[in-house]
Every structure is written in C-alpha cells, then in structure tokens.
Structure 1
C-alpha cells in the first residue's frame, strides 16, 4: 500500500487507534490497511485513506455508506413520508405504550470539574475532600481529577456513591482497568470501550474477567483495597449482593452469546415503534452526522467511522445484564456526556473530521482517560466507593459507619455533587440539604453542586410550550441570526401530509427556541415554591452571590448549590442566555447535534 503515514503493526493492540486509520478495510476477508488516513472522502468526509490507491480500492465498499439514503437531501422522517402525526406529540409510542425507561449508565449532562481550581482559592498543597453522592458514571470524577495541576502536592479524597450496585460495580471495574493494567494504551482503550461500546475485543473481556475474579475474592465488607497507579488507591465496601453480581457477570457467557447480544441491541435500538423518536433526533442533523449516528446505533461501537471493527467480538458485560438484556434506554447517547465543542477539536487533533462525531468522541475520551491515568501515577488520590441510598449515606457518615474506609464522622467536604436528586421526583430540595448541608466544610468555596432536570414540568412557562409563548424580541433575534429553522411548507398532496410535516418541524423549532428563552424568573419561582429559602436558613447555607464553579442556572446554588446552563459564561447573571458566537457552527453543535435539548437542562 502507498502512503506517507506511519504504519501500525499487525501485533498486539492493533485496535488501539492513536490516529484515524486508513478506511481501506475488507471486513468479509478480515483485511485492512494499517496506515493512518490522510485523504478525506470529499463527499461524506467521514472516512480517510492513506493514498488514492486505497481510496479507489475501497470505493465499492464505501459507496454503500456514502450514498446511503440517510445522507440524501430528500430524506424525511417517517411521520412525514407516512403522512401522520409524530408519535412523540402525545408522549406515547406507536403501540400506545409509555415511552421506554432504562438504567442510566451515561450522563445526560456534559462532564464538569467540580473543583475548578483556577476560579477558587487554592494552593498546590491544599487537601480536598469531594463527594459524588449519586455518581452515575465516572465522567465528573475524570473531569475533576484532570483539572488538578500536574504539580499538585496536596491529597484528593473522593467519596463515590450510587444506590445501584450495577452502576457501582461498573465504576469499580473501570477504575481497576485504568489503574492496574500495566500497558497504559491498553488500559485506556479497554476502559473507553467498556464504558461506551456494546462489544469489546476478546482480549479486553479476558482482562475484565481477571478483575471480576479478584473482586469476587473479597470475603468481608469494606475489604477491597486496590492500588491505582503509583500514588493513588481505591477502597470499596463490597457486600454479599455485590459479590453475587460479580459472580453473575463472570458466568454471563453461559447465558448469552455475541449473536444474542447483537440481536438484543438491534431489538432495542431499532424497535419500529420508536422510529419517530430516532428520526426526531436526526431531523436537525447534517447528512453525514445522520449517517454517523445511524452507524453508532447499528454497531454500538465508539470508534472512528472507517475503523476495522471485526476485533470487537465479545459482548460488553458492563452494558448488558447477566441475562443478556441491554440495560439502558434506546436513546442513550454518549455524546450527551461531554461538551461537544471540546469533542470536535480533540478529534481534529488526531486527524478526525467534524463529520465523524463519534470518532471525535473516541479521541476526546481517549485523551481524557490518558490524562486521568497520568494523574493516578503522580498525584495522591484516594477513592472511596460505597453502594448506598443517598440519604442513608449521609446518616452513615454522621454515625461513623464509613470509618473503615477512611470517612469518619468528622469528615467534611469541599464539594458535594448530588446530581439531580433535588428534583421533586426524587429526594427533593429540603431533604437533600438537610442530609448533606452540614457535611460541607465551613469555607467560602465549599459548594453543594446539583441540577434540576425536571423542574420545567412543574413550573408554568418554565419552557415555551409553543413558539407563541416566546417574547417577540427573542423570536426576531433568533430568526435574524438564522438560528431557527424556517418553516416553509412544501407542496404536498393532502392536508394530512402538510400537517404531519408542519408539526414535526414545529417541534424541532420549539426545542431550538428554548436555547434563547430566559426562564430565570420562573426558576426562582419554582425554588421559592418548593421551599429553598427555609431549607437554606435551617441548614445555615446561602446562595453564592458570585459563581465560581459552573455558570448560572442549572442548579440552585447554596454554599452551595447551583444550576448551570449550557454555553453561559461563569460570571454571567441568572438571566443570561446561551452564547454561540457569530457563526452558526456553535449553534448547530450545541443545539442541533446532541440529543439533549435545552428545554431539559435549564
């Protein structure tokens, strides 16, 4: 093969991709070019080749993707072609059943650094205690640790908790993969795929089984102690139920095969009754992003678009249940977990194009995990992992029940991240602050961080239900800036089809318009109505006058709680709306591309 890029070897770890590979792959014959890609397909811009010869040789295979109907300008969502209203207009799927639910293993908000040292008083020797009391995945921990300077000389103590044992076991396994596998490249790549890919190489599965077996050997609660890197360590409270879960994971290969897992993934992600929701996500996307999204749905692999995927021949036992069921919702999307405007530059630094958004995400997560592993080897980091109800955990700390893993009754925290448990559907404002407020350190930077994901469902005008609910000035500004898709009905053959097209477009427009809607007054009303004032007073807390961790409006911020809004500067007032710059790229990346709508996060 011709090409100027450095060739990868045929040896071990050929699936670890430091640069975007040449896309000249013949999956049927298990052949691939091992050089890096440098010439982009001028049509879809999703794949790269090392040479014109490779591009020509691969065209017949690539053409089926490049010319896929999903990339056509004539593509329309199913509800338009079928001349009906979209099913999501009523909140029910096409079978009339409630929309699917599932476990949340990937975050639905971009990762945050809850220390944000540059904007807070700190020295290189200051110790920090932080708590993720409803942690979900590891993204906020990774982002926070990576925010520590390489010359940080203090000690970071992390309490990581979740009430779901499957979530906790995933986090333990991922941390052990990152901290105990000697080959750094292998550790990082394996952790990435166990985090986000439905299938992994057999070699990675073998590494996981070794780790699962070592955890199963724990015979007493609280006795798991693991060295992570040179200076970091992990302690976990492993009870009987968690050991039984480990045993079930280790035996899961007896219950389902790779073929079974592939069928299960297809069943979940391509259920015909959910087609309108999938197409709703695709409507605002550019053609190549629609194809990239479809590719991820099909294969479930977080890889550059043209990468050889034949090595991924073992189900990821951390995304399927021990019985072989996909454990997340059908719409779970790892793009929601990271800031898209960081993801794209990360991909470009490794040769990926913006069109290959999941390839960009692969490299962004890879870079984040490399930084995390480096800090595990040079900084003093102690991670304490617990599987408990959030309120019971706070009581346990106060009663000295976590002393065996180094968290005693006198422990206090610089940051407490509570996710969205303050939502009315979960713990609520008062109970959360009563439980955790007294566990904050008495310093001006100590902060309880959380967000309200569902508050707009309980507050009138929290989001504009129709375009008419928006102030005319907002409509005019967004229209003049070209932020809002124009609604120009095409010539259609019937009133039914016209209505179907218009309703689908209007739904997308209303989602977009939320990004320019100032709902700070409504949010304050919601907080007042649900007892924030008395909860702050009784716990001797207050809302910070100046934000120093994340911007205004995605939380409540008492010493300690706050609410961040996407694309708003850190020092912005509560009424600030997102800023996207003068061009349309920022708007498109933040509003149109991710599945997370602004209406769900303000």
Structure 2
C-alpha cells in the first residue's frame, strides 16, 4: 500500500500505484510546515520529520511495546459461551445451541451450558430481559429525567463530551447499476467517520473497472488521524487487522499493541502533513497510556450513569465498553483506547452514544445470524457486521483503482483548495451535489412537531397506531411532515436564487438518498419515514440517534450535471 503525502502548493500532483496489483493510493493535502518566527525555535524539528523518525523505529511486530501477546484468534463464528479465564474454562468449539432463558448466548453442548450457568445466571435472570420491563418513569407515571431533569427546577445533567467520533447520521446506499466501467468522483466534505465511504465502496459492482476518486475532509484532527490509521491497516479475513480496527473504532479498551505500525512506514518521507494534525498523531502514537482504572471509572460514570438503563444487550456494552458477542472473552482487552479520550482523560462520547447508530439495523442482524449469533445479541451482530464490512473494504482498496485525497480543512475553506470539474452528463447521469441540513429547525421552528398544538396533535395521532411508546416521545417528529416548513426555510435562505447563479437546480424527487432519514428513496418530499414493521420502528426509536428532522437536498447541473458527487454528511 502506498500512502503519499503532498503539500497544498502541488494540488494537481499525481500519485502512482505502489504496485500493479495494488491500485489504492492515499494523498494527504495539507499546509506546508511554517515554524514560528522566533530564535528560540531554530532547533525545532519539522513535525513530519518527527513522525517519519518515529515510524522508522517502530517494531515490525509491535512486541517491543512490552504489552504481551495478541490474545485469542479472530472470531470467524460465534464461539461457545463457556469462557472464563479465572476458572480456566476456554471451550474452543463453535456455538450451536441457544440459551432459552435469554436468547443472547449460545453453547456447543448442554454440558458447557450447565458448567457455565453460575457465571451466566445473573445475566440470564436480569429483569431487563422481561417483556414486561419498562423504565421507571413509565411505571411511576412521571416525566422522564431526560426531559425535565430530576425535578422541574434542576436541569438535566449532561454526561460525557459531545464529540461525534462515530457520526450520528444514517449510512445510505448509493446506486451502483450501469457504472461498471465509469470513473467516479466522490467528496465527503465533513466526513466524520468512514461509514459512508466504506459502504459506498462496498456497494460497487464486483466487476467495477473504473477509477474511483474520493475527497475525504474533516476539520477535526482526531477524526482525520483515526481515519488515516483505519485506511492504512491491512484488514484480511481472520487476521489481526480486524482485531485492531474494530476496537479502534468502537471500544474503550483495545489490544495491547500499537496499531499495526509497519503499514504506516509506507509514508512518503519527502512530503509533510499539517503541523497540528501531525503533532496530534505523534502524541497518540508516543504518549503515555491512559490509566486503566481511571478510564474504567470515566466510562462507568458516563455510560452507566443512574437513569441510563437499556435492554440487556446494550446494557452489557455500556458496562464493558467492548463491541463483542455476548459472553465472549474480554481479558485480552486491557489498554484504554486513546482515540476516545481527551488529553485530560475525559471520555469524548455522551451517554446516549451507541455503536449501532447510523448503521442499517436489518443488515446488522442479518450479518450476525450468518456468523451464528442470536437476533437478540445486538452487539455480537454488530461485531460481525463491522468486521465483514472492513474486510470487504480492505479487499476492494487493493483490487479497485481508488485514490483517496485527505484534507483537514474547515468545510467553508475547502473550495479554496478544491475545484470540481464539470463535463457532459454522459460521464455520470447520477452526478449531483448532496446537501444535508441537520439543524435547519433552529431557524425554522415550524419544522418541529411541537411548534403548534395542531401539528403535535396530528403527529401524535399518527404515532398512536404503534403499540409501544417507549422512547418514542423524543421521536414524535418522525410522524410530522416537515416538507412545507423546509421549503419555506430554503426560500427564506434564497437557496433557489443561489443555485441558479451557479447553474444548479434541486431535484424534486431524490435519486441518491431519501429526502429524510428512514424514508424510502424515490418518494415525494412529503412522505414520512417508513415504519412498516416493529423492527424498523425499534431501529428508529430505540437504536437511532437521528432527530428525524434532517433533510437531504440534491442539486444537479443545468443543463448539464456535475461529474462529482459531493456529500455533506
């Protein structure tokens, strides 16, 4: 794998493939290093040189970090839940029989289930598994604390720091028909994590023969650096690559090894990265480890705070912070994940954070079943789903002709260094600019169901057709038609006038993503999110982090369409 770092003053510089069989290149566009004008800095080393020197001395196998062995082999299928290090119980068999008490764990035999019962009993008998379980605010017929706080005079305490390291928008599928030989250009202007990049690449046809160019930008140096690590770690099936990437993204404890350092040694030493981002990456690679007991305490105070109670599968994740099948071994995870903590040791997540947010719930469960998990084991299903996605993504990075251009700019500053070429719509008839409006109701209150008694009554009437109202009051907007208010908002912002000035027009019916989260693609702007089944409603109301107010707009060239797809997600 070749990763090429290039400066802004060479914006058109081309990257060559590392080999004929490896077409993936990664270009980092950043500002040249300019040290402060002070005599005291004459001996300061260029941050890029420091990073290069650091990578050159990293151990090829990571053992010099002194943290011990890799731990258990990567999970291919769900293993027998009879695992307990202290009792030396490590059944190596695949699971075939489901516990009828909780439907969360599986065993290879009745003997293993009996042997493991004293460890599993507490989870199996948990009241959170009861179908009649409901939160205290429902049983006590009062307003929940997350609405008004413990009492009317006390504001609700916020737990954690709201840095969206995982993203909070639903990942979307893109059309992939009739593009097997077409060159594609994608731009993720405020990318956040790599979910949409991964899913877009994985949805390309198996025989895709075009060239895919991806612009990846985010102003958060932590997110940019983490994406860099994920893009450069080889992730082959059933090897250590997946063991590094999954915890790196979704766990507060990781393996006791520096994340696959040898892959970073393909950095081009003749160029440099942005000083702030480079310095941040160096600090993460070389900094002192976070104290384990302190990290556990911080995680517990945030994710398992009083009042934050979920059903058993999610509750287990909030207690452990580990994205693993229910009952899997966890002893090999012993190093706090520095990507999720600030320099001061604060957890950079809020208590409502959830690894499932933004992923397709149906696809997650499907992947879990394919690897032997139960439908109730959400985190186990998520573990195998993310693993499958990362493995497939890594394969395609090496098989397809993909060029990724990474920026660390503020979105509003990116046009100064990035120009989108336009050409005949025959190049790509689906090309468009995709705009996401996340917070438009701040300026247009009518977009919210609670804006008037009439709209609230109408939304509540729609919602009344569903049996379960648990966690649904904060999803009331899912039953509210926001199209009229949103059109008024665009008119007030002169969106059509601005679009005409640059020869663009908006599509009345979206062709790339639905006009709002959970709606069906190709429907009218006034259609509501699709909640035709209990599973879909559960995914929206209980697992999703969407406000259900977000709107997507697609602009196309007039009379020609742009050849670059720009996602503001």
Please tell me the TM-score bracket, short chain as reference: 0.7 to 0.9
Please state how far the C-alpha of 1:323 moved relative to its aligned partner.
4.4
Higher relative contact order (CA 8 A, sep 6+): 2
Q: Deviations over 1:546-586 (max 9, x none)?
A: 422112x23xxxxxxxxxx31x32211111122333x4333
Which residue is equivalent to 2:166?
Answer: 106
Distance of 1:200 and 1:67 partners within structure 2: 30
How do 1:371-520 residues align onto structure 2 when only pairs under 5 Å count?
Answer: 371-398=392-419, 411-412=420-421, 444-465=429-450, 469-470=454-455, 478-480=463-465, 483-485=466-468, 508-520=471-483
Please state how far the C-alpha of 1:304 moved relative to its aligned partner.
0.7
How do 1:163-562 residues align onto structure 2 when only pairs under 5 Å count?
Answer: 163-178=219-234, 185-202=239-256, 205-210=257-262, 218=269, 220-221=271-272, 238-252=273-287, 254=288, 256-272=290-306, 275=307, 278-279=308-309, 282=310, 290-398=311-419, 411-412=420-421, 444-465=429-450, 469-470=454-455, 478-480=463-465, 483-485=466-468, 508-551=471-514, 553-554=515-516
Please state how far the C-alpha of 1:62 moved relative to its aligned partner.
0.4
The counterpart of 2:187, out of the listed 120, 131, 134, is 131
Distance of 2:324 and 2:176 partners within structure 1: 32
Which residue is equivalent to 2:4?
Answer: none
Q: Which runs of 5+ in 2 are unaligned?
A: 1-68, 553-569
Contact kept? 2:166, 2:355, Cα under 8 Å: yes
Please state how far the C-alpha of 1:86 moved relative to its aligned partner.
2.9
Q: Deviations over 1:49-97 (max 9, x none)?
A: 0001111111111011111233345655355678864333247999647
Contact kept? 1:196, 1:302, Cα under 8 Å: yes
Contact kept? 2:357, 2:543, Cα under 8 Å: no
DSSP 3-state at the match of 2:445: coil
Distance of 1:374 and 1:484 partners within structure 2: 44
Please state how far the C-alpha of 1:356 moved relative to its aligned partner.
0.6
DSSP 3-state at the match of 1:373: helix
Which residue is equivalent to 1:580?
Answer: 531
Contact kept? 1:467, 1:510, Cα under 8 Å: no
Which residue is equivalent to 2:42?
Answer: none
- Cα RMSD (Å): 3.1
Distance of 1:210 and 1:257 partners within structure 2: 26
DSSP 3-state at the match of 2:181: coil
Distance of 2:434 and 2:334 partners within structure 1: 40
DSSP 3-state at the match of 1:542: strand
Contact kept? 2:169, 2:545, Cα under 8 Å: no
Distance of 2:397 and 2:220 partners within structure 1: 26
DSSP 3-state at the match of 2:233: helix
Aligned residues: 481
Distance of 1:69 and 1:30 partners within structure 2: 29
Distance of 1:73 and 1:579 partners within structure 2: 25
DSSP 3-state at the match of 2:80: coil
